[in-house]
Structure 1
Amino acid sequence: MQNSTNVITSCSVSEDYKQILLPLTYSVVFVVGLLLNGVVLWMMCCRTKKWSCSMIYLTNLALADLLNVLSLPLLIVYYCMDDRWMFGAVGCKLVRFFFYASLYASILFLTCISVHRFIGVCYPIRCVDYTTKKIAIVGSVIAWILVVVQVFPTLMFSNTGLINNQTVCYDLTEPHNLNQYFPYGITLNITGFLIPFAIISICYCSIIRTLSKSEESITVGNQIRRKSIRTIVVVCIIFAICYVPFHITRTIYMFVAVYMPLKDCSVLKFVMMSYKIWRPIVNFNSCINPVLFFLLNDRNRTRILAELGK
């Protein structure tokens, strides 16, 4: 195994693009994400009298998104100041922790929504006992516990450091810790992304197969059919734009940084830039996730339009 510190420090990569791309991206996500998720939580807390299982999962999804959105102002200042971190080591650890907690909580609650939709379409009578609000609340609590357990090590790995006498906040960990971080990073990818992604894929394949049968489609009903199709489309868009590219580039970056020979920096430069470009894009999940709230229930759209018309 090569010395990761030497790999990173010996390859100089121009990152001037970050001073424009990252503040702009994070600012858009902050404004749009705060607005949309704020509306979702306001609708749930102030305008919804009867909560369903889907509403419980969507509320937790909005909370997960806000966890990330509210930490973005620190990163906006950080990159506007030309990578000068002014918020201390604790602030750095918390920002990284909130990002990964929000990311994997979002994936887990999208998984919960997909499984709930799968049961409602494929086994509406046989599994009716597994679609109660009590199950949804217990499932949400378990999901948050799993996320905290998965992401807790980021508080130990994330830290500040000095580059050219300038304090920076490392995203994954310090360069000399990459060898130790790599097994954890791969484990996090598998448990936080790959397994939920496989579950969601199985659920959607089963839903599509069920809906494609004419007799089953009649049994399911047009309303559930529309909701299922909307869920599949939105979740697939989220994974295609945000989660899949991010995890692929992140995995390749970690592997190259740890295992590639020191003599050739071209590959490392390419994968490093690819990862750092997709790193802010993954935050757009906080803007797309709230769309599910408005698409899964026609009454939600009606209430929003009524409030806007006042």
Structure 2
Amino acid sequence: MADPVRANSSAKFLVSPSTQSFPLQVGLIFNSFTLWFHCRGAHGQASKSWMIYLKHLTAADFLLCVSLPLRIVHYARNSYTIHLLYCSVGAPLLFINMTASILFMSYIAANRYMKIFYSSGTHFLMSAKASRIISMTTWVVLLTTITPYAILMLINRTSQRSDHGTCGHLLKELMRPLYTASHAVAFIIFLSGLFSLVFFYYSASRRVLQVQQTQPASSNSKKLVKSRRNMLVLVSVFCFCFVPHYIVRIPYIILQGQCSVVMYYVKEVAVLLSVFNIILDPLIYVFLCKEFRAQLNLKQIFCIKGNRNISSSEAGDSENQMNTISTSVAPRAQ
């Protein structure tokens, strides 16, 4: 088995600043717009419970955008200080982002599921108050769990300075159970989120089929089809970003120190895919939020193009009509 550190030097195309900077630049643009959207419409959207989850999902993505520069510098320079800072701050922030994104996407899916099966909207979990309580509790639990780990990483680190490839060598034996337990809990959260999203999408699909069989042309059927489409967007983004990461992450942690070069390559690709959630999450806003689509003015852009084509065709038709009239009037004048 090859040393992951040697793999780190040979996989520069995966951890190069240009490769890591692409999701950062695009994610900053997208998330800056979504933050502006949330701040601009804060009062009008306060009563929508699922919009509260969207706001916190944006906050998690922006947190990842803040931590990505540290990851880029970590792989660009062979510095023990930067490596220690990344392992104690950057990596925990990435961990918080992924866990928070999984939870908030699950909350959004659960809210949309309840919207389908509790159309009256009277359930307490569908209220804005419940959404705020759940969101704040999620952040408190995540931060109180990760902050002691980051502090212990800084205080109880080992004195080894030769290996800058992974963060595992910085852990003392006292911290290794905490490290393993945190990743085990994260994996359980991931499995719970994955199974819940699949269950919600499956239930929504069955509900749509039932309504289409009894009321194929009703407005309720069209709304349910739209809800199923939104659920499919959530499942697709979730599976693309997080499933590869956790499939690779668990064996990588178990085999840490004995990983092959290929395993390191696969792990870096999986991490890069998980980072792409800061680019793909705005797709959720586009499909789920009508106000967000209105701010993008997509319909207006397409309407302007359509009007231009219509006006040009109308101008051509009017010109042809004028030519026809002039040719018909000319013989009469003669």
Q: Which residue of structure 2 lines up, in the alignment, with residue 222 of structure 1?
A: 222
The superposition leaves residues 45-67 of structure 1 with CA deviations (integer Å, 9 ceiling, x where unpaired) of 11454112222111110000011
1:104 to 99, 103, 119: 99
1:249 corresponds to 2:242: no
The superposition leaves residues 90-134 of structure 1 with CA deviations (integer Å, 9 ceiling, x where unpaired) of 554111121111111111100110000000012223754431211
Q: Which residue of structure 2 lines up, in the alignment, with residue 136 of structure 1?
A: 131
Give the Cα–Cα distance (whole angstroms) in 2 for the partners of residues 118 and 305 of structure 1: 28
1:186 corresponds to 2:184: yes
1:46 corresponds to 2:40: yes
| 3-state SS, counterpart of residue 8 of structure 2 | coil
Give the Cα–Cα distance (whole angstroms) in 2 for the partners of residues 173 and 58 of structure 1: 37
1:291 to 283, 287, 297: 283
Q: Which runs of 5+ in 1 are unaligned?
A: 1-6, 259-264
Counting matched residue pairs gives 290
Shift of 1:235: 1.9
2:65 to 62, 65, 69: 69
- Which structure has the highest helix share of the two? 2
Give the Cα–Cα distance (whole angstroms) in 1 for the partners of residues 37 and 133 of structure 2: 22
Cα RMSD after superposing both structures: 3.1
Normalised by the length of structure 2, the TM-score is: 0.75
2:111 to 106, 112, 116: 116
Q: Which residue of structure 2 lines up, in the alignment, with residue 281 of structure 1?
A: 273
2:23 to 2, 14, 29: 29
Given residue 237 of structure 2, which amino acid in structure 1 is its aligned partner?
A: I
Give the Cα–Cα distance (whole angstroms) in 2 for the partners of residues 62 and 151 of structure 1: 20
Given residue 287 of structure 1, which amino acid in structure 2 is its aligned partner?
A: I
Q: Which has the larger radius of gyration?
A: 2
Give the Cα–Cα distance (whole angstroms) in 1 for the partners of residues 101 and 88 of structure 2: 20
- Relative to 1, partners in 2 of residues 1:128 and 1:292: Cα closer, same or farther, differing over 3 Å? same
Given residue 263 of structure 2, which amino acid in structure 1 is its aligned partner?
A: V
Shift of 1:251: 0.5
Give the Cα–Cα distance (whole angstroms) in 2 for the partners of residues 188 and 173 of structure 1: 21
2:9 to 16, 20, 40: 16
Given residue 57 of structure 2, which amino acid in structure 1 is its aligned partner?
A: L
Given residue 225 of structure 2, which amino acid in structure 1 is its aligned partner?
A: R
Give the Cα–Cα distance (whole angstroms) in 2 for the partners of residues 195 and 188 of structure 1: 10
Give the Cα–Cα distance (whole angstroms) in 1 for the partners of residues 98 and 234 of structure 2: 14
- Relative to 1, partners in 2 of residues 1:72 and 1:213: Cα closer, same or farther, differing over 3 Å? same
Q: Which residue of structure 1 lines up, in the alignment, with residue 326 of structure 2?
A: none
Q: Which residue of structure 2 lines up, in the alignment, with residue 271 of structure 1?
A: 263
Shift of 1:173: 5.7
Give the Cα–Cα distance (whole angstroms) in 1 for the partners of residues 81 and 5 of structure 2: 24
Give the Cα–Cα distance (whole angstroms) in 1 for the partners of residues 181 and 204 of structure 2: 35
Normalised by the length of structure 1, the TM-score is: 0.80
Give the Cα–Cα distance (whole angstroms) in 1 for the partners of residues 138 and 215 of structure 2: 31
